[in-house]
Amino acid sequence: MKKLLPTSRIAIAIASLLLAITFFTPVWYIWMWAPQYPEGLSLYIWLNNITGDVDIINGLNHYIGMKHIKVEMFPEFEVMPAIVGGIMAFGLLTALVGRRWLLWAFLLTFIAIGIAGMVDFWMWGYDYGHNLDPTAAIKVPGMAYQPPLIGSKELLNFIAYSAPDIGGWMFISTGLLTVSALVFDIVRNKR
């Protein structure tokens, strides 16, 4: 069992502590622009909340048959803070114990949880944009309103843009710092 170098252990501790920022900042955002909303409309997705122009978006979405966005519709919001706290604790334990196999386990767990989160977000967007109320005032045959997972997409007269916010960039930074620590440790131990 290879022991991690002190530099790698410090990097893992820092990577884990970066996730604390996700408790205080939005993880993801969706912005929408249209001629009647030149300033744009925004949704900010936190670990346990959605903020932004939720009421305006719900009012507009009602006309095309989309469900109202409300925190209660996301059971993920109840568990996400605990999951992120668990990831942080696992990372700090990895830094403390300092074994490479534990770093591999931490990295693979982190990647698996990240993939599961993105798949869940895509599935929510699919359901939200495809399962429309058939009695809606405005119906466009064949039109779905699934927001993009990442990037931009035209939805009727709106352009929707979806990307990581500060908290999302902390997740990405944690992943990159963890991979860098592992690579650094493997390369330095081979010398």
User: What pLDDT is recorded for position 157?
Assistant: 87
**In angstroms, what CA-CA distances link 31 with 1, 28, 48, 164, 165?**
48, 10, 19, 11, 11
Which residue's entry shows tokens 């895509």? 122
Query: What is the chain's pLDDT, residue by residue, as a tens digit (191 residues)?
Result: 689 999 999 999 999 999 999 999 999 999 999 999 999 999 999 999 999 999 999 988 888 888 889 999 999 999 999 999 999 999 999 999 999 999 999 999 999 999 999 999 999 999 988 888 888 888 888 788 888 999 999 988 899 999 999 999 999 999 999 999 999 999 987 87
AA identity, residue 8: S
Angle at 92 between CA 87 and CA 94, to 5 degrees: 95
Instruction: Assign domain 6-190 to a CATH class.
Output: mainly alpha
Indicate the pTM of the whole model. 0.89
What is the per-residue pLDDT for 34? 93
pLDDT of residue 1: 65
Asked if residue 152 lies in contact with residue 161, where contact means CB atoms within 8 angstroms, the answer is: yes
Residue 132: what pLDDT?
Answer: 87
Nearest-angstrom CA–CA distance, 112 and 91: 14
Quick check: 25 and 167 in contact, CB under 8 A? yes
Coil vs helix vs strand at 51: strand
- Tokens standing for 69? 């966005």
